[in-house]
Amino acid sequence: MPELPEVEVVRRQLESHIVGATIQNIWIGRDDIVRQGLGSLPWYTGAQLIDVQRQGKSLSMVCQQGGERRYLVAELGMTGLLLFDRRLVPSEKHLHMTIHLSNSQQGALHYWNARRFGRLYLFDETEWEAYRQRRFGVDPLTVSEEVFLRLIKGCRGRVKALLLNQQRIAGIGNIYANEMLFRAGIHPDAQGNRLSKKRIQLLFEEMQKVLTDAIHRGGSSIRDYLSPDGRRGQFQNYHQVYQKKGQPCPHGCPTSIRRLVSERSSFFCPTCQKR
C-alpha cells in the first residue's frame, strides 16, 4: 500500500495541478532518502515539470531545462504520501522532501513517509531507462491478453506470487491480488501453468476491472493513504475478501472467507476458489 490504483490517482492529480510548473527549489529533509543522484539536485532549480508518469507503483516527474531532461522518481513504499498542502502532513518528523513551485495551481508538493521503504531517485535519461528496464514488468492496465496469457502459462509456481512479482507484472500488491483472484474464482496457491486458457482470460478481465474500478473510486484508504488534495479513497468499501476473514462469502455460498498465511496474507473462499 499504495498500489497501482492509488499511485495512478496521485499521478492524475499531479498531472492536472502541477504539470507546466517551474521548480523554484527542492528541499530534502534527509539525504539518505535519495538513493541515487543527490549531487544533481541543484540542476532542478529553474527546471519545468513537463509530465508525470507512472511505472508500476512508482511515479516519475519529468523535468526539462534547456535541452536536457531529468527524472525525479518517487517510490511511495508502504506509507508514502505526496501532498499539496503541508497542513495535511501527518507529522513533520517524517517530511522528507518539499518541491517549491511557481506558475502552478499549487505552490508546493510535499513527500512524507513514516517508514524507510519509500525512496527518491534523481535520474538522467540513460539512468532512468536502465532503471525501468531492470525494475518493472508489464503494466496490468496496458498489457495485452496474449502477453498476459503467456506470462501465466509460463509460471510453474503460485499464480498469486506471479501477480505480486513487480519485475513480471508491475503495480499489483496484496490487496488487489486478493480481490482479482477471488472474482476470477482462482485459488491463490493455484499453479499458473495448470490454469486453463479460459480461466486465465477471466483473470485478465477481472484484473483490469478491479484496477479500473479502484482508480475510479480514488483507491483504497486502508491506513494512511490520501490523494495529493487530501481525499481518502473509497474502494476499501467495495473489497469482497481482503481482511474479511470469517465473514460470509459475497457469492452466497455456505463457506466463510478464510485467511491463508504464506509470504503475504491471502483471503479466499475455499468453495469458490478451489485449487
In this predicted structure, the answer to whether residue 168 has a pLDDT above a threshold of 70 is yes
pLDDT band at 7 (very low <50, low <70, confident <90, very high): very high
Give the pLDDT of residue 263. 58
Helix (H, G, I), strand (E, B) or coil at 67: coil
Phi-psi region of 101 (alpha: psi -120 to 50; beta: other; left: phi over 0): beta
Give the pLDDT of residue 90. 85
**Cα 169 to Cα 44, 76, 139, 150, 161, distances in angstroms:** 31, 18, 6, 12, 10
Q: Any idea what DSSP says for residue 168?
A: T
Backbone angles phi, psi at 197, to 5 degrees: -60, -40
Strand extents, DSSP E, the chain = 22-28, 34-36, 48-55, 58-65, 68-75, 81-83, 95-102, 108-112, 119-124, 258-261, 265-268
Considering only residues 92 and 259, tell me which one the structure prediction assigns the higher pLDDT.
259
Average pLDDT, integer, range 226-238: 96
pLDDT band at 91 (very low <50, low <70, confident <90, very high): confident
Give the pLDDT of residue 275. 79
Give the pLDDT of residue 131. 95
Say if residues 167 and 136 touch (Cβ distance below 8 Å). yes
pLDDT band at 224 (very low <50, low <70, confident <90, very high): confident
Reported pTM: 0.95
Q: Alpha-carbon dihedral of residues 108, 59, 263, 218, nearest 10 degrees?
A: 70
Which residue type does 203 have?
L
In this predicted structure, the answer to whether residue 95 has a pLDDT above a threshold of 80 is yes
pLDDT band at 222 (very low <50, low <70, confident <90, very high): confident
> CB under 8 Å to 69, separation ≥6 — which residues?
50, 62, 63, 124, 125
Over residues 13-56, the pLDDT tens digits come to: 999 999 999 999 999 998 989 999 999 999 999 999 999 999 99
Backbone angles phi, psi at 109, to 5 degrees: -135, 130
Backbone angles phi, psi at 116, to 5 degrees: -90, 5
Strand partners, 70: 63, 124
Q: Tell me which residue of 115, 122, 139 sits closest to 54, measured CA to CA.
A: 139
Count CA atoms closer than 13 A to 205's CA, side-chain side.
Answer: 10
Helix (H, G, I), strand (E, B) or coil at 201: helix
Look at the block and give the residue holding cell 483490469.
Answer: 208
Over residues 102-144, the pLDDT tens digits come to: 999 999 999 998 876 678 999 999 999 999 999 999 999 999 9
Average pLDDT over all residues of the chain: 94
Q: Tell me which residue of 269, 101, 124, 258 sits closest to 182, measured CA to CA.
A: 269
- The set of catalytic residues is 2-3, 57, 264
What is the Cα–Cα distance from 202 to 208, expressed in whole angstroms? 10
Give the pLDDT of residue 93. 86
Using alpha carbons only, give the angle 141, 77, 18 rounded to the nearest 5 degrees: 70
Instruction: Choose the weakest-confidence range: 6-15, 47-56, 82-91.
Output: 82-91
Give the pLDDT of residue 117. 62
Say if residues 173 and 160 touch (Cβ distance below 8 Å). no
Q: Which percentage of the chain shows pLDDT scores above 70?
A: 98
Which domains can be identified in the chain, with CATH numbers?
4-135 (3.20.190.10), 145-268 (1.10.8.50)
